Amino acid sequence: MNEFSTPFDEFEHSSGIAPVMQRGILARCLQVGLRGVSFAALGIAILTASFLIVRHAWPLITGSQPAIFFKSAIPLVAIGVSYACLSVTLRRTLWQHLFGIFMGLAFVLWGLEQFLTDREVISFIDDIVVFLFVTDLSIVIRQNFVSCGSERQVRKARFPVVKTIETFNFAARPSLDEGHFRALLQGKYIERRENVVIVGNTGAGKTHLVTALGHAACLQRKRVLFTTASALVSDLFEAHSSRRLRQFHRRLDRLDLLIIDEIDYVRSFDLRAQLLFEVLRAGYERMSLVITTTIPLEKWAELFESETEARAAVDRISDRGHVLEATGESYRKPGRNAVVAPQFRAC
């Protein structure tokens, strides 16, 4: 992701959060028609703009003026129509649609005013064009502020690597409900303080899935922290030993989403398990938890000192949560290549 987006970046990256929607025949025909108009208008704009340059070079070459003459309004109107039509057909956010329409309309008005003679009307159109350009640049600036904010949230989340759902192979995980998971990417579960538990065998892509959930939440400006269960327990134990446990919990309380990966690797029946249980207990209805485990919830007694603690932890997680299964052949099988999204740059 670039440090600053250009106006054209608005059309290069679609949102990976929203589920793919099926379009009707009428909508597809309209899309094809508008894209045809856009392509034709683009051709006209290129040809006429090229002719404007040739027109100035022609007298230097031949010593005479070309027989055909037209104003620069034609390429301006043509490129405006092409840009506006294309922006309508792309699956983008409302702001991105407005940007494309306003930019195209500004070029169209800029060209049309060359055919007018009334100075008051021309002045009025100039003011409209200025307004449209200012509005468009305001949209670009807003998008970049949002983008920088999202990138800061990604850095603070401390993902080991940034992975998105576009690189996950759902076909290899038939046990996983793709529609349900893509709905979770929209982040409504965070607003409702619901939890997500992904159960699956080692190498099933659980970390990829929870990272994608966390990344989507960061793009929605949510405060996210990714940690493994062993790292979290170590931090909790260190905070307890240095009498900073209350301060540590206050930092966790500021989160919207806490991702705990590989919770089944913590099977210590002592203070460490109690500290972990306290995080699960304290987070109930105060934040959303996303957890990965290879142990089904009904067998969580293996993780805690007592069955009572295990039942209490499961009740809190599953009471307001979504339990997903990701089973299948391990992605860590020798010879399999992993695809990882690149890290974000700093703003």
Single out the residue in 148, 183, 207 at which a domain terminates.
148
Residue 347 lies in a domain: no
Percentage of the residues of the chain whose pLDDT score is greater than 70:
82
Residue 3: its pLDDT value, please?
41
Q: Same domain for 125 and 254?
A: no
Flag the least confident range among 37-46, 60-69, 84-93, 312-321: 60-69
Distance between CA atoms of 214 and 224, rounded to whole angstroms?
7
Tell me which of 287 and 264 has the higher pLDDT: 287
Residue 329: its pLDDT value, please?
64
Band the pLDDT of 140: cuts 50, 70, 90.
confident
Q: Same domain for 137 and 179?
A: no
Distance between CA atoms of 106 and 113, rounded to whole angstroms?
11
Q: Same domain for 130 and 202?
A: no
Q: Same domain for 174 and 249?
A: yes
Q: Same domain for 165 and 132?
A: no
Tens digit of each residue's pLDDT (9 = 90 or more) over 157-193: 889 888 888 888 888 888 888 888 999 999 999 999 9
Which residues pair with residue 259 across a beta bridge?
226, 290
Residue 79 lies in a domain: yes
pTM, entire model: 0.59
Residue 347: its pLDDT value, please?
41
Sort residue 158 into left (φ over 0), alpha (ψ -120 to 50) or beta: left
Q: Same domain for 233 and 101?
A: no
The arithmetic mean of pLDDT across residues 236-246, rounded, is 90
Contacts of residue 160, Cβ cutoff 8 Å, sequence gap at least 6 = 207, 211, 226
Residue 184: strand, helix, or coil: helix
**Average pLDDT taken over every residue of the chain:** 80
Tens digit of each residue's pLDDT (9 = 90 or more) over 118-139: 888 889 988 998 998 888 888 8
Residue 1 lies in a domain: no
Residue 216: its pLDDT value, please?
92
Distance between CA atoms of 317 and 289, rounded to whole angstroms?
8
Looking at the 3D structure of the chain, how many domains does it have?
Answer: 2
Q: Same domain for 97 and 232?
A: no
End-to-end Cα spacing for the chain: 10
The arithmetic mean of pLDDT across residues 204-212, rounded, is 90
Band the pLDDT of 12: cuts 50, 70, 90.
very low
Q: Same domain for 172 and 260?
A: yes
Distance between CA atoms of 256 and 48, rounded to whole angstroms?
54
Residue 240 lies in a domain: yes
Percentage of the residues of the chain whose pLDDT score is greater than 90:
22
Per-residue pLDDT at 69 exceeds 70: no
Range of the domain at 258: 158-325
Q: Which CATH number is 168's domain given?
A: 3.40.50.300
Q: Same domain for 174 and 284?
A: yes
Residue 331 lies in a domain: no
Q: Same domain for 275 and 197?
A: yes
Residue 17 lies in a domain: yes
3-class SS string, 50-111: HHHHHHHHHHHHHCCCCCCCCCCHHHHHHHHHHHHHHHHHCCCCHHHHHHHHHHHHHHHHHH
Flag the least confident range among 16-30, 72-86, 95-109, 316-330: 16-30
Kindly provide the residue ranges of all beta strands, DSSP E only, lying in the chain, ordered along the sequence: 195-199, 224-228, 257-261, 288-293, 321-325
Per-residue pLDDT at 18 exceeds 50: no
The arithmetic mean of pLDDT across residues 301-317, rounded, is 73
Q: Same domain for 197 and 297?
A: yes
Per-residue pLDDT at 109 exceeds 80: yes
Q: Same domain for 245 and 295?
A: yes
Residue 332: its pLDDT value, please?
53
Single out the residue in 108, 126, 148 at which a domain terminates.
148
The arithmetic mean of pLDDT across residues 255-281, rounded, is 80
Residue 346 lies in a domain: no
Residue 11 lies in a domain: yes
Residue 32 main-chain phi, psi, to 5 deg: -60, -40
